[in-house]
Amino acid sequence: MKPAVIIICGVVLLAVGVAITLGLDSTVDQGREVYAMQKCALCHSVSGIGGKKMALDGVGSRLKLEEIRKWIQSPRSMKADTTMKAYPNLPRKDLSDLVAYLATLK
């Protein structure tokens, strides 16, 4: 391969990587906003800020994405005696963004 082709391929891969990273950051930021708008902090805390019923620190390490989604949409399917409110009608994008945010809490 010619050096120019290798350089061009490298630049393209770098640009794609940056675009993916920026998109993920945006999704996580949106998820943080959904967390605030839905008033999740009334019951849950992150880094010691918020309600004391259930700290969400480390949730991204303990649960898979689908499990986080289930906890949000139908918490009683995850734990029958939970007092957590279900959010079955949360808009799809808000749900995806919220799951992405919670998944970052390692």
The reported pLDDT for the residue numbered 17 is 44
Nearest by Cα to 94 from 37, 19, 20, 21: 37
| Domains of the chain with bracketed CATH | 3-103 (1.10.760.10)
Give pTM, 2 decimals: 0.76
pLDDT of 33-73, one tens digit each? 999 999 999 999 999 999 988 999 999 999 999 999 999 99
Q: To which residue do tokens 């880094």 refer?
A: 47
Residue 90 has pLDDT above 70, yes or no: yes
Nearest by Cα to 106 from 63, 69, 70, 57: 57
Q: What is the spatial order of strands in the sheet that 49-50 belongs to?
A: 49-50, 44-46, 54-55
| Confidence bin at 5 (pLDDT 50/70/90) | low
Nearest by Cα to 85 from 106, 54, 48: 54
